[in-house]
Each structure stands twice: as structure tokens, then as C-alpha cells.
Structure 1
Amino acid sequence: MTTRIDSRFAELAREGRAALVTFIMGGDPDLETTLALLKALPAAGADVIELGMPFTDPMADGPAIQAAGLRALATHTTLAKVLKLAAEFRKADTATPLILMGYYNPIYVYGVPRFLTDAKAAGVDGVIVVDLPPEEDSELCLPAQEAGLAFIRLATPTTDDARLPTVLAHTAGFVYYVSITGITGAATPDYSKVAAAVARLKRHTALPVAVGFGVKNAENAAAIAKVADGVVVGSALVDALRKSLDANGHATAGSVAAVTDLVREIAAGVRSAAHQPA
């Protein structure tokens, strides 16, 4: 199974640079703004897009993404509507990898077979479901792979060498390395430790390793891009969007640009760390 994710990482490896993976929350602050952002992100420098599925209890997320999910839920964003956003995006963009990220509960309620069928039809390439451990692979991971969707697993600083083979067994697309012990957007990672962690992961897998949690600017992105195959940024983009909203939490004329301007800045940081491929 080769997905757009595999093709994109392979293409960037040939170019000698890391991928910029960007996260936005579906429906934050409304569906129209999310769709405008989805369409604008690739031109701003996003190589891969993660689209959040809002959930009431996002236990791995920090205040920024928690608030984004609540804003999305307040405007009645559902998983079905997020899938429609994906389908609309895919009509005009057939190349950019699109990943749905969130928690298992909304998928379980929607129905796994229906979700996988609809996600594939919408042009989704993979899923990140942070609260499904490898012991529950039969719930979603294995059916997703059978449906042609990559199931992307997270590894953390506390995932030791004994645990890694289990975590990586059915992972596809890339490995998402969580660079800090904690919630999203909470702290800046120690880059010397990130380099060692990426090297350790690569001893266990041939998959690309993308690093996230704590990337806020071009400098952070460049530091990670020097040692990893991908740089993931989410909370900083979600926060930039929040700051652009009006007093009632509604999008303004500057909302899309607030996000894409930051993406351009971070993309420049990622590209500054490019090297000649071996």
C-alpha cells in the first residue's frame, strides 16, 4: 500500500529536506474558514495536512487545541462535516496528503466500517488516533490498513526499546515522535534529546520520523528539520487563528492570513535546514 504520504516523504527525501506537517482543527471557528485554510495551506508551504476531528475530551491536547475543539463543537461541527471538508479539499488538490487526527470515540460512534469507507471516498490518506494503543489494533488500525489508509502511531520519550517494536508493528506513513512528555504546545523540546530520539527510532523502523509538540516558530522548525524527516506544527497555528478572531469568536478578514503567514515563516525555517541528499 502506497499512499500520498509515502510519495510526499519520498519526494522530499530526494530533495534533501524535511516535510512541514501542519495541523488545524476541523470547524474552528467555522467550516468555511477551515475549508479556506485547507486550500491555502499547501501554497503557504505545508507538505502534509492534519485535520482535527473535534472531541469533548481531548486528553493529549493543551489549552490551544482544546479551545479550538470547543469552538468547533459550539458551531455543531461533526465528524460527518469534517469528512465533507476533506472531500471538498480533495476536489481541487489531488497531491497533498491529508490525515485525520483525533480520538476514537467520534469514530466509534460514527461506525468504523462506515468511517473508513467515507474517509477513503473523501480522499483521506491516513489517521492518527491518539487514544488507541497497539493492543487495540483490531479496533481501527488493522481495518484502516485494509481500507488503504495509513494508521500513524505516536512514540514518546517514555517509549523504551522494549515497547517500540509493539508500537511500530502496524504503523504506516510515518512515525510521529512526541518530543516532550506532556500535552501539545506546552513547552519547547530539548533539541539535543530530539536528535538522539530520532536516531533511536530509525534503528527500529525504515519509516520517516516526524517530530511535533512544542514547535512555535521558524527557529524551532529549523532545529528539528536538521535531525528529522518531518516537523509537525499545530498549537502555534491554532493560536494564531484564535488571535485573529473577533470578540465573539468569529473569523475576520485576516483569519486565514494569520495562519498562512505563520506557515510561510515556519516553512522557511524548515527549508533553511535542507541538505544535499546522499
Structure 2
Amino acid sequence: MSKSAAKIDQALAGGRAALIGYLPAGYPSVEESIEAGIELARGGADLIEIGVPYSDPVMDGSVIQAATTEALARGFRVASVFDVVRGITEATADLGTAVLVMTYWNPVVRMGVDEFARRLAEAGGAGLITPDLIPDEAEEWFEASDRYGLDRVFLVAPSSTPERMAMTAKACRGFTYAVSLMGVTGARTAVDAAARDVVEAARAAGAERVCVGLGVSTAEHVREIADYADGVIVGSALVSAQRDGGPSAVGRLASELSAGLSRTTAAGA
């Protein structure tokens, strides 16, 4: 079984949804992003997404864009993401936290798909989340992910057709990433009502585990989503915590968010 699936299933068996936290690699430095990832895991995150800073982040909101722009300005290189993954996985081995890399596809192609996959596996990474790669164009990634035993997470959205939903659900390994709204990432005061519909559509299309992201920033959001999704993905709020209070603030926020993970209904039953 995939590392991601195992952690999500472990959480579900305990009567709660999984907490998935996002942090950009190299922000504000490689060392501090490792520290923040460790604190995130210790604070209760079951899975961690480590983002690769990219010059054209079309899906990212202002908070994440500012962080990744700063990381690039300070000299971040793609190869350093493997140092971040290794640092977190080694320090949290007792927890078994699954660490994935979230990246636009161009940096992977530039390095070489097989090379990227090999180095990620060697660093202890669980797999890739690829927001701008669709299954139709992912044959090389399918081969590499199978070769190195990596999870592959694709995105579905409110705009996904039933045919696209089914193709994506079949292609995913680990979990399917359900985008809660049309737009970019960023903390919001409320979670879009379409999120539940996307989860239900993904399950109907064959997705075994569906996790919701975009716009999730409070324990109340987490509590709402945990009742119908298998995992809750938080990004901008954690990056803001890192910006304002460093790694320890990331850990504190993770603990607060974890309080909302318990399910009050039998989601997916």
C-alpha cells in the first residue's frame, strides 16, 4: 500500500480525517523549512506537502506566491527539495509521516522525470502532487512512479466532467485531491459549498480516498470538511504562521487544526 493511503487509513480507523499540511521548500531557508515540517508533523499532520518554488505559480494565492518568490530570490534550487524531504522524513520516522512533493510539472521535466522520481524515493518521499499535469499527458510519470513505488496525486475540481473525474480517480494512487473552489489558494472565511459535491462526485467515479484543499484555514473549516472527506489540506494559513512566527508557530497551528479532525458522521458510508 502507498505511504499516503496508509496514513489516511490509519487516521480514518481512529475516527478522524487526516490532516495534510503544505509548506514551501526553502522558505525562508532550507533549514527552516525542514524545521517547520518537523513541527508540522509533531503538531498532528499525517501527511505533509512540500512545495517546489516556481516562477509561474498559476494556482497559488498571494501568501504562497510571496513565500516562494522569497525562496527563489534567496537562491533556492529544485534539487534542494530532496534535502527538505529527507530532513523531515528522517526526523519524524517515529511518526511515519508521509511527505509528498507538490510541484508544477516543468521543474520535473527539466530535471528528468526518472531522475526526479528516483531522488524523491531515495529521500524517503511518498510521491508527487501535480496540479498542472493531467492523466492524459502523464505516461512518463506513470512509468516512473511505478518504477520507484511513488504515489501520484491528481486534482479534480467543481468543473470536472464525469469522464474526467473517472479518468483522474483511476490514475491517482494515495488519494485524489479535490479542489474546493475555482480559483487560487488562500485562506478564506468560509469553505465553498461545492467541496462536498466534488468529494461525492469523485467517490462515485471510483476514488478510494478524497482529500479537500484550497481555502481551508481554521479548525472550524477542518471540522466541517472532516465530516465528509478523508483528509483536509491546509496551506496558506500554515505558510502565514511560518512567516509570522517561525517553525514553532506552524506546530501550534497544526495542533489547533487537529482539534477539528474528529468525525461526527460516518463519512463515505
TM-score (norm 1): 0.90
The CA RMSD measured in Å over matched residues stands at 1.7
8 Å Cα contact 2:165-2:201 kept in structure 1: no
Distance across 2 between alignment mates of 1:57 and 1:270: 33
Task: Report what 1:259 is aligned to.
Answer: 250
Distance across 2 between alignment mates of 1:142 and 1:214: 33
Partner deviation per Cα, 1:172-209 (whole Å, 9 max, x = no partner): 10011000011111643234x32232122111124211
8 Å Cα contact 2:170-2:207 kept in structure 1: no
- Runs in 1 of length 4+ with deviation above 4 angstroms? 274-278
Partner deviation per Cα, 1:22-75 (whole Å, 9 max, x = no partner): 000000111111111111111101110000111100111111111111111112
Task: Report what 1:224 is aligned to.
Answer: 225
- Please list, as runs of the form range in 1=range in 2, the aligned pairs for 1:1-278 lying within 5 A after superposition: 2-94=1-93, 95-185=96-186, 187=188, 188-191=190-193, 193-242=194-243, 244=244, 254-271=245-262, 273=263
Distance across 2 between alignment mates of 1:5 and 1:44: 18
Offset at 1:217? 0.6
8 Å Cα contact 1:174-1:210 kept in structure 2: yes
8 Å Cα contact 1:23-1:233 kept in structure 2: yes
Number of positions where the alignment pairs a residue of Structure 1 with one of Structure 2: 265
Amino acid at match of 1:171: C
Distance across 2 between alignment mates of 1:145 and 1:214: 32
Aligned residue for 1:167, secondary structure, equals helix
Distance across 1 between alignment mates of 2:10 and 2:167: 28
8 Å Cα contact 2:21-2:235 kept in structure 1: yes
Aligned residue for 1:50, secondary structure, equals strand
TM-score (norm 2): 0.93
Offset at 1:275? 5.6
Distance across 2 between alignment mates of 1:15 and 1:186: 28
Aligned residue for 1:24, secondary structure, equals strand
8 Å Cα contact 1:18-1:274 kept in structure 2: no
Amino acid at match of 2:135: P
| 254-263 or 56-65: bigger deviation | 254-263
Distance across 1 between alignment mates of 2:9 and 2:85: 23
Aligned residue for 1:189, secondary structure, equals coil
- Name the % identity: 35
**Structure 2 residues without counterparts, runs of 5 or longer:** none
8 Å Cα contact 1:183-1:213 kept in structure 2: yes
Distance across 2 between alignment mates of 1:262 and 1:56: 28
